[in-house]
Amino acid sequence: MKYLAGLGGIFCACSSVAFAEVDSEIPLGIEAVTGLRTDYVHRGFQLAESALDFQLEAEIILSKNNSLSLGFAHLSESGEDFNETWSYLEFSHSFNKNLTSGASFTYRDRNESILQGGFDLGLFTSYSINDVWRWRNELNFDLGVDGVYLNTELEWSQIISNKSFVTIKAGLSWVSEYLERDGLNDFHTRLTYTYTLSDQVSFTPFIGSSIQIGDKDADDILYGGLWFEVIF
């Protein structure tokens, strides 16, 4: 998830390196992702275990500096009642080759969850420090829980071969009135390895963590999973 992830948000399995190659060739890119994970963590909250998910995303290049992404995703917990469906729309504007900013509009529907579903409004900036380092900041207003989520994240990507690359992310989040949490929320990391079978097909194993800061009663979370991606 783009931010499912990330992601919160909804978040995508491929890194910006892979997307840059697609964007330079076609004005419309469509990606389908299916995966499984040991735990589903959203903004520091563990919502599910042993989950399966499916994501579909389309990116439309509006102009040299503007793009529009829209997506749909569904996640369900194996053997339990929790499931989540969400859709989103994201507009991005590139000021130059290093700096991009934008806004997102997301709706989530959840069953059997500690977090209520609802609309989510987001703003973000992404700055490419160099070819391998990127700094991303995001601010989200979650209307489902009437809370605010702020996240800052560093990403390092390195091409290993002409068929594979590795990405490491580490971030720190802060929340306000987010299900009784206020202040520093969690420190989170994720390591992904992407191997491309062809120009359209790849798979990505990943591991990640969410280390709780503000909520001392919540458990730290370690998780892993696998994504399978197809670009049309």
| pLDDT at residue 196 greater than cutoff 80 | yes
- Could you tell me which residue, 155 or 199, shows the higher pLDDT? 155
| Confidence bin at 10 (pLDDT 50/70/90) | very low
Other Cβ atoms less than 10 A from the Cβ of 184: the count is 15
* CATH architecture of the domain formed by 4-231: Beta Barrel (2.40)
pLDDT (tens digit per residue) in 97-155: 999 999 999 999 999 889 999 999 999 999 999 999 999 999 999 999 999 999 999 99
Q: How far apart are CA 150 and CA 102, in angstroms?
A: 15
What confidence score (pLDDT) does residue 152 get?
99
Other Cβ atoms less than 10 A from the Cβ of 164: the count is 14
Contact 101, 125 (CB under 8 A): yes
What confidence score (pLDDT) does residue 103 get?
99
Of 159, 184, 210, the residue nearest 47 (C-alpha): 210
| pLDDT at residue 217 greater than cutoff 80 | yes
Between the CA of residue 165 and those of 27, 149, 193, 204, 225, what are the distances in Å?
24, 30, 6, 10, 17
Q: What is the largest CA-CA distance in the chain?
A: 49
Other Cβ atoms less than 10 A from the Cβ of 30: the count is 15
What confidence score (pLDDT) does residue 79 get?
84
Round the average pLDDT of the chain to a whole number and report it.
89
| pLDDT at residue 156 greater than cutoff 80 | yes
What confidence score (pLDDT) does residue 27 get?
63
What confidence score (pLDDT) does residue 80 get?
85
- Which residue stretches of the chain are H helix? 16-23
Q: How far apart are CA 214 and CA 225, in angstroms?
A: 26
Mean pLDDT of 43-64: 95
Between the CA of residue 135 and those of 93, 100, 112, what are the distances in Å?
16, 11, 34
Q: Where are the domains of the chain?
A: 4-231
